[in-house]
């Protein structure tokens, strides 16, 4: 029976040393490409989500927002709330919330009672009237500004500072504003 033997040639040693270097380069290049892609996605996601919502002033004063889906924030003017329970239609007006106040409750109070604040009519369809939809509630709305100047919301989130509970002087829990 013939015996098979394997002999290393001189070229085999050179090929063995050359292959890992090419493989390492491909691996490093691929890893670098993935790292750059991850950094790009993080940066673009951070820039897009850096501003949670825009103000009523920005929406009303910038015609570029007409027809675009945006998220806005404003204070609800309680005397403008109209609800049609048969057709599930909600109409109300929001006003611009000034940014010069540290206390949200004060900012909402000032905005709701300022006749010079920028105002925006809001229309929502197919939604039951939320309990928190009341005077001086902060509304965060997602939707589109129509050509007619009405904001057609598809999503409504409400914050009511009179419902917030804050800690009192001796650790007692106090209900503020109510």
125-148: pLDDT as tens digits: 999 999 889 888 999 999 999 999
Percent of the chain at pLDDT > 90 equals 43
- Detail the DSSP E strand segments found in the chain: 54-55, 69-84, 89-95, 119-125, 138-145, 150-159, 165-167, 173-175
**Beta-carbon count within 10 A of 119 CB:** 19
pLDDT at residue 91 above 70?
Answer: yes
Q: Is the pLDDT of residue 169 over 50?
A: no
pTM of the predicted model as reported, rounded to 2 decimal places: 0.63
Predicted pLDDT of residue 175: 44
Q: How many CB atoms lie within 10 A of CB 94?
A: 29
pLDDT digits (tens, 9 = 90+) for 24-33: 888 889 999 9
Statement: residue 116 has pLDDT above 70: yes
The domain made up of 54-165 has a fold known as OB fold (Dihydrolipoamide Acetyltransferase, E2P) (2.40.50)
Structural contact between residues 41 and 35, judged by C-beta atoms closer than 8 angstroms = no
Exposed, middle or buried, 12 (CB in 10 Å: 0-12/13-18/19+)?
exposed
């Amino acid at each position: 029976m013939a015996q098979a033997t394997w002999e290393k040639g001189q070229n085999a040693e050179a090929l063995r040393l050359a292959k890992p270097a090419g493989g390492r380069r491909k691996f490093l290049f691929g890893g670098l490409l993935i790292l750059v892609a991850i950094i790009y996605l993080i940066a673009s996601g951070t820039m897009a989500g850096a501003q949670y919502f825009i103000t009523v002033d920005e929406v009303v004063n910038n015609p570029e927002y007409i027809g675009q889906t945006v998220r806005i924030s404003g204070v609800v003017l309680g005397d403008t709330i109209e609800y049609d329970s048969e057709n599930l239609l909600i109409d109300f007006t929001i006003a611009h919330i000034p940014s010069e106040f540290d206390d949200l409750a004060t900012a909402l109070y000032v905005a709701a009672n300022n006749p010079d604040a920028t105002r925006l009519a809001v229309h929502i369809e197919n939604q039951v009237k939320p309990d928190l939809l009341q005077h001086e509630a902060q509304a965060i709305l997602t939707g589109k500004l129509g050509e007619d100047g009405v904001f057609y919301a598809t999503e409504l989130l409400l914050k009511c500072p009179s419902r917030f509970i804050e800690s009192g002087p001796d650790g007692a829990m106090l209900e503020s504003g109510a």
